[in-house]
Chain A
Amino acid sequence: MIEIKYVPTICPYCGTGCGLNLVVKNGKIAGVEPFKRHPVNEGKVCPKGNFGYQFVNRSDRLTTPLIKENGEFREASWDEALDLVAAKLREVSDEDPNKVGFYACARSPNENIYITQKLARVACGTQNVDHCARICHGPTVAGLATAFGSGAMTNGFDSIKQADYIFCIGSNCMEAHPLFGRKLIQAKKNGAKLVVVDPRFTPTAKIADEYVEFETGTDVALMNAMIKVIIDNDLQDDEFIAKRTRGYEEMKEAVEKYTPERASQITGIRPEVIEHLAIEYASADRAAIVYSLGITEHSHGADNVMSTANLAMLTGNIGREGTGVNPLRGQNNVQGACDMGALPSDYVGYRKVSDPETTAWFNDYYSGHGYEVNLPAIPGLTLVEMMNAAHAGDLKVLYIHGEDPVLSDADVKHTREALANLEMLIVQECFLTDTAQCADVVLPAAGWGEQEGTFTSGERRVQCLHKAQEPPEGAWVDWKIMEEIAVRMGVPRQLFHYESAEEIFDEIRQCAPIMAGMNRERLDTPEALHWPCTSVDDPCQPLMHKDKFAHPDGLGVFQALDHRGPVEKVDDEYPLLLTTTRILFHYHATMTRRCETLSNEVKTGFIEINPEDAKKRGILDGEVVKAFSRRGEIAIPARITEDIRQGIVNIPMHFVECAANVLTNSDSFDPKSKMVELKACAIQVEKLPEELEMKTEVYRHGTDTQIRAEEMSTTTVKKRGI
């Protein structure tokens, strides 16, 4: 007889945090059905929500630990693999804890992430723990913390429905956060004006009231000019500036030279359009800014972010419903990964490593049962710095929990070289990803739907997940894997043993005052809870900065900023500026490319190119072309479209066989946030001498341990000398 049940849980893709029901038939996940009771999405989901479960029971799930010997993987017992990993981590951390690094997984529940940073800090004594927010919303965390004292989205998602004017810059939410996109549609129905500013005429731009195209990487110049126009027209909110902010005069001075005419030359937007945008934004009663990675993924990402904060504070558009600075967080739990202290500068709850008292508190909290923790009050290496340290030979062991930097970090060649240079790469994964193929030890982990825990969405809503099925036999829950490693490293089991994910969350509440009030009774409801939630009777409303900002003095801080633009400029040799994006049907690759419906929809990558640029090169629509930069070269089908500005090309980042990140630039650091410039680098596109077919069925039959990395990865025409 059939046994069937609905298990309500949270979608594992973007940071919107939609609820859905997993349908479990005879113990296996068999489908997704609407969870109409969920307050965020009311039963509506995007294609990833509808079909993104299909990867779970794929035959190529990892179910046994793998150890690489002489370049080949062999299956190993858990005992052997755990002993090997623990011994190496112990040996290198004893030598120098700075030679060990950890990447936490922003797709994983908070509890796993918390244990990852605990393993790094408590078992290895290193502060080298980070995650993909660094190359996603790291500039948001850094930039908004500088401006407002807290690096998170200032309003809840539903707040946008009360806006009169929405300034959406560098966010293609109809594709990247579709159920937030729905709220833009609802806002429009309520009478809001939606303006989209983007170098591409995106699906989001297509549903807007006004669309403004501009040059990639010129955001600061645009917003500085808007600020100048607002001040020149006396549209600033003097009372808000006087009572709630500081740094205004310095900022005012800095924007003085950004006349609309000058900004027009930089941005490519006509001066009168800049004036129009500025006046409309400042004149609206409730104006909201929405942005995403188009703002952050630049070498001046933090400056871009702070420009949005300047605009909002200048006009008093913060601390009220329908206003605010609304960065849309990428991964389902990238907000949580930041909150959990998977940051080299912060412990859980954004408690600062550099503060000696805080570090002393954690040293004391984590010590016990005869084991002493002695962390330095010095921030560790960021994700990008760890990879660079590995490349330079300064990092010996890297433990990657569920991330795929070979695909997602800038400059694939650099990443591969760095990973090859490690003494040991440990990858904890559900599938043999491109990164896992570079590993020395692969540890098979339980995935989404197979464990309890919590995700924190972009509006700081901490939501409970529910287990729908058992993990495949042989795959373990992450925090249990890490408990075994810690114990084998000589840490008393009591410090790492938990009976349930809920017990881990209780420890998180003890360490993070912003989550202290999140008891299970209130948390495990469809509405769940937003942080800050300092006590059990805290109403935990999503709106932040209502009466004061999160800085100790309660004031918001204006920043004086200058336009810097992309590090790598186009020239005769590389005349096209490459931007990278996500598409609606994929979210990176590991999961969505293994979902049949999503993979059928978009099987491989493409390069978007303007008809004029294509014509100049004699390129036809759909033809496989050669795209190359100073870093490397790929073959990729061309998609000729009017939706992209002349001189700019775009590659979605999901497809390893034509990976955008072969071309991107890894030494283009944002000094303020350590972001690399994923959204701007100079490339050239050429017709190929002969017709080439793409490998599009990379995941069709699954990967297996017999296939070697080279056979699986990037389609390369020929290596170029650098």
Chain B
Amino acid sequence: MSIKINDKYYAYSAIDDIKRKGEYGGAVTTIMKYLLEEGIVDGVVGVCQGYDIYDGVPTLITDPDEVIKTAGSIHCATLNIAKFISKYLDGARYMKLAVACKPCDAMTLRELMKKGNVIEDNLILIGINCGGTMPPVPTIRMIKDVYELDPADVIREEISKGKLIVETSEGEVGYSIENLEKQGMGRRENCQRCNLKIPFNADLALGNWGVVGELEGKATFVEVFSDKGAEVLNKVIEANLIKITPSDEEGIKKRDFINNFMLKESLNKKQTDYAGTTGDIIDVFYKYSDEFSRCMKCYGCREACPLCFCKDCCLEAEGPEWVPGGRTPAAPFFHLTRMVHMADACTNCGQCSEVCPSEIPVAKVWSTVNNKIRETYGYIPGMISEDSLPFTDHVSKAKRL
């Protein structure tokens, strides 16, 4: 095997049709199609377009000819694919899947693997770089009000050089992402805090950052992070479906620069978001008690949280009734309970805030607490590691002789 962990390449599809339809050379689509055709996986999980480019729909594909439907990125697909696999595909217990995943999808899948809720051996994680996703309806509104464009005319959006660029057939319009986000537009708040832009917790990570020279815009930067990833890339190259060239030094620098710049921005956002509290559970809970007091007990955060997968949830338990049935606004115990149950593994995927009808910034709250747990225990959720989860795993001090 010629491909190994930490290898970096520029890759593009050798299949003309996919090269045309897929973004940046169509490498992801080609790999997925190959895995399905060869029977290496039973299904491919990706995101397809629903009504329009603002509507991302998680999709299980079992026909290789349909893989092309997942080509291209949908920046308004603010999904967590891990939930889809855990809830509707039995956590890949009965089938092998290749999953196109953003860093937060990969982080959540890693946590669920540790908890035994999804089966690691049955998953191939094809990671995709992500600078953040944008909520569909506010984005449509922003394109109308700020960009003064018809959202239906938009072909593409991207963040480049500090600007959010929106492209129509008439050309490009760009505004400072920093200014937009200060006014509550742009990426989701959790994305602005995100500490993983290149999914090095996946088997492979692909993206356009760092592709320079004549391949710019025509190829994808691929980095290998696991033996599984190396094997997949090797096979697809041997099958003459993907062409690779070693990545350019300057390209690697550029990719690092983009990554580091975004991580620095995230750090700033975190400092703002975590300000005014020690990060300890009780302190954070107290700080947000007014926000929590609006909770109508829709269970939306629990339903959306990929880490909440208990069949019998203690929030619904009949006795003892910590959170009495039918009482709204909900008892503060509702969120305190959830906080205790998932804060050590929270991947800042943002699903909870997105579904909250009472506009409680739940994702920010969990992230604040999780940050404190990181500082205290040193455990970083979502990575490939043998570290134990602070509140989940028992750590024995017994010496094995």
Q: Which of B279-313 contact A (CB under 8 A)?
A: 293-294, 296-300, 303-304
Asked if residues A23 and B88 are in contact (CB atoms below 8 Å), the reply is yes
Cβ-based interface call for A31 (8 A): yes
List the B residue with the shortest CB-CB distance to A48.
B298
List the B residue with the shortest CB-CB distance to A600.
B316
Cβ-based interface call for A692 (8 A): no
Given A45-B357, A525-B51: 12 more A-B contacts, CB < 8 Å:
A2-B95, A34-B304, A34-B355, A36-B135, A39-B137, A41-B357, A44-B356, A46-B298, A178-B357, A584-B297, A600-B318, A602-B325
Decide yes or no: A37 and B54 within 8 Å by CB, A2-B89, A47-B299, A189-B359 being known contacts: yes
Chain B residues proximal to chain A, CB less than 8 Å: 42-43, 50-52, 54-55, 57-60, 62, 76, 78, 84, 87-89, 95, 135-138, 140, 293-294, 296-300, 303-304, 316, 318, 325-326, 328-329, 354-359
Instruction: Return B97 CB to nearest CB of chain A, in Å.
Output: 10
Q: List, in ascending order, chain A residues with CB within 8 A of B62's CB.
A: 1
Instruction: Return B141 CB to nearest CB of chain A, in Å.
Output: 9
Complex-state Cα separation, A207 to B358, whole angstroms:
10
Decide yes or no: A37 and B294 within 8 Å by CB, A47-B299, A50-B299, A584-B328 being known contacts: no
Instruction: Return B359 CB to nearest CB of chain A, in Å.
Output: 5
Cβ-based interface call for A182 (8 A): yes
Asked if residues B316 and A6 are in contact (CB atoms below 8 Å), the reply is no
Asked if residues A46 and B135 are in contact (CB atoms below 8 Å), the reply is no
Complex-state Cα separation, A179 to B298, whole angstroms:
11
Q: List, in ascending order, chain B residues with CB within 8 A of A30's CB.
A: 88
Q: List, in ascending order, chain A residues with CB within 8 A of B78's CB.
A: 36
Q: List, in ascending order, chain B residues with CB within 8 A of A583's CB.
A: 326
Q: List, in ascending order, chain A residues with CB within 8 A of B137's CB.
A: 36-39, 42
A289-329 CB mask vs B (1 if < 8 Å, else 0) is: 00000000000000000000000000000000000000000
6 inter-chain pairs at a CB distance below 8 angstroms, sorted by A residue, are: A37-B137, A46-B357, A174-B329, A175-B296, A584-B296, A600-B316
A513-527 CB mask vs B (1 if < 8 Å, else 0) is: 000000000000110
Asked if residues B299 and A2 are in contact (CB atoms below 8 Å), the reply is no
A593-626 CB mask vs B (1 if < 8 Å, else 0) is: 0000100111100000000000000000000000
Q: List, in ascending order, chain B residues with CB within 8 A of A21's CB.
A: 57
Partner of A178, one of B42, B57, B298, B318: B298
Asked if residues B88 and A31 are in contact (CB atoms below 8 Å), the reply is yes
Cβ-based interface call for A536 (8 A): no
List the A residue with the shortest CB-CB distance to B52.
A37
Cβ-based interface call for A244 (8 A): no
Asked if residues B297 and A50 are in contact (CB atoms below 8 Å), the reply is no
Q: List, in ascending order, chain B residues with CB within 8 A of A203's CB.
A: 296, 328-329
The binding surface of chain B is classed by DSSP as loop
Partner of A50, one of B51, B135, B303: B303
List the B residue with the shortest CB-CB distance to A174.
B296
Complex-state Cα separation, A601 to B84, whole angstroms:
25
| A-B residue pairs, 4 tightest by C-beta | A602-B326, A37-B55, A44-B357, A42-B137
Asked if residues A4 and B89 are in contact (CB atoms below 8 Å), the reply is yes
Cβ-based interface call for A186 (8 A): yes
Q: List, in ascending order, chain B residues with CB within 8 A of A525's CB.
A: 51
Question: By CB atoms of chain B within 10 A, which of A30, A37, A45, A206 has the most?
Answer: A37
Instruction: Return A185 CB to nearest CB of chain B, in Å.
Output: 5
Asked if residues B136 and A36 are in contact (CB atoms below 8 Å), the reply is yes
List the A residue with the shortest CB-CB distance to B60.
A4
Asked if residues A37 and B76 are in contact (CB atoms below 8 Å), the reply is yes
Tally of A-B residue pairs with Cβ under 8 A?
A: 125
A: number of interface residues (CB 8 Å): 50
Complex-state Cα separation, A514 to B54, whole angstroms:
30
Q: List, in ascending order, chain A residues with CB within 8 A of B88's CB.
A: 2, 4, 23, 25, 30-31
Asked if residues B50 and A37 are in contact (CB atoms below 8 Å), the reply is yes
Asked if residues B300 and A50 are in contact (CB atoms below 8 Å), the reply is yes
Complex-state Cα separation, A1 to B355, whole angstroms:
30
Instruction: Return A694 CB to nearest CB of chain B, in Å.
Output: 14
A576-604 CB mask vs B (1 if < 8 Å, else 0) is: 00000001110000000000010011110
Instruction: Return B83 CB to nearest CB of chain A, in Å.
Output: 8
Asked if residues B358 and A42 are in contact (CB atoms below 8 Å), the reply is no
Q: List, in ascending order, chain A residues with CB within 8 A of B136's CB.
A: 36-37, 42
Q: List, in ascending order, chain B residues with CB within 8 A of A189's CB.
A: 359
Complex-state Cα separation, A601 to B328, whole angstroms:
11
Instruction: Return A660 CB to nearest CB of chain B, in Å.
Output: 16
Cβ-based interface call for A43 (8 A): yes
Question: By CB atoms of chain A within 10 A, which of B58, B140, B326 has the most?
Answer: B326
List the A residue with the shortest CB-CB distance to B77.
A36
Partner of B329, one of A47, A179, A206, A526: A206
Complex-state Cα separation, A505 to B303, whole angstroms:
36
Q: List, in ascending order, chain A residues with CB within 8 A of B87's CB.
A: 31
Question: By CB atoms of chain B within 10 A, which of A4, A25, A30, A584 has the most?
Answer: A4
Asked if residues A36 and B357 are in contact (CB atoms below 8 Å), the reply is no
Asked if residues B357 and A179 are in contact (CB atoms below 8 Å), the reply is yes
Instruction: Return B204 CB to nearest CB of chain A, in Å.
Output: 25
Q: List, in ascending order, chain A residues with CB within 8 A of B359's CB.
A: 182, 185-186, 189
Instruction: Return A263 CB to nearest CB of chain B, in Å.
Output: 31
Instruction: Return B309 CB to nearest CB of chain A, in Å.
Output: 13
Q: List, in ascending order, chain A residues with CB within 8 A of B325's CB.
A: 600-603
Asked if residues B95 and A37 are in contact (CB atoms below 8 Å), the reply is no
Q: List, in ascending order, chain A residues with CB within 8 A of B140's CB.
A: 39
Decide yes or no: A597 and B328 within 8 Å by CB, A6-B50, A44-B355, A182-B358 being known contacts: no
Asked if residues A601 and B55 are in contact (CB atoms below 8 Å), the reply is no
Complex-state Cα separation, A601 to B321, whole angstroms:
11
List the A residue with the shortest CB-CB distance to B359.
A185
List the B residue with the shortest CB-CB distance to A185.
B359
Asked if residues A178 and B296 are in contact (CB atoms below 8 Å), the reply is yes
Asked if residues A37 and B51 are in contact (CB atoms below 8 Å), the reply is yes
Q: List, in ascending order, chain A residues with CB within 8 A of B355's CB.
A: 34, 43-45
Complex-state Cα separation, A207 to B298, whole angstroms:
16
Q: List, in ascending order, chain B residues with CB within 8 A of A1's CB.
A: 42-43, 62, 95
Partner of A2, one of B60, B296, B297: B60
Q: List, in ascending order, chain B residues with CB within 8 A of A50's CB.
A: 298-300, 303
Q: List, in ascending order, chain B residues with CB within 8 A of A42's CB.
A: 135-138, 354
Complex-state Cα separation, A31 to B303, whole angstroms:
10
Cβ-based interface call for A181 (8 A): yes
Instruction: Return B65 CB to nearest CB of chain A, in Å.
Output: 15
Complex-state Cα separation, A302 to B307, whole angstroms:
50
Asked if residues A46 and B296 are in contact (CB atoms below 8 Å), the reply is yes
Q: List, in ascending order, chain B residues with CB within 8 A of A207's CB.
A: 293-294, 329
Partner of A601, one of B95, B135, B316: B316
Cβ-based interface call for A51 (8 A): yes
List the A residue with the shortest CB-CB distance to B294.
A207
Asked if residues B58 and A6 are in contact (CB atoms below 8 Å), the reply is yes
Instruction: Return B273 CB to nearest CB of chain A, in Å.
Output: 17
Cβ-based interface call for A532 (8 A): no
List the A residue with the shortest CB-CB distance to B42.
A1
Complex-state Cα separation, A268 to B329, whole angstroms:
26
Complex-state Cα separation, A19 to B183, whole angstroms:
27
Cβ-based interface call for A8 (8 A): yes
Complex-state Cα separation, A602 to B87, whole angstroms:
25
Q: List, in ascending order, chain A residues with CB within 8 A of B43's CB.
A: 1-2
Decide yes or no: A174 and B356 within 8 Å by CB, A8-B51, A45-B300, A46-B296 being known contacts: no
Instruction: Return B347 CB to nearest CB of chain A, in Å.
Output: 18
Asked if residues A175 and B58 are in contact (CB atoms below 8 Å), the reply is no
Partner of B298, one of A25, A31, A47: A47
List the A residue with the shortest CB-CB distance to B57.
A6
Asked if residues A181 and B357 are in contact (CB atoms below 8 Å), the reply is yes
Instruction: Return B363 CB to nearest CB of chain A, in Å.
Output: 14
Partner of A44, one of B52, B60, B300, B318: B300
Complex-state Cα separation, A203 to B52, whole angstroms:
37
Complex-state Cα separation, A4 to B328, whole angstroms:
35
Decide yes or no: A45 and B95 within 8 Å by CB, A8-B51, A174-B328 being known contacts: no
List the A residue with the shortest CB-CB distance to B325.
A601
Q: List, in ascending order, chain A residues with CB within 8 A of B318's CB.
A: 600
Q: List, in ascending order, chain A residues with CB within 8 A of B358's CB.
A: 182, 185
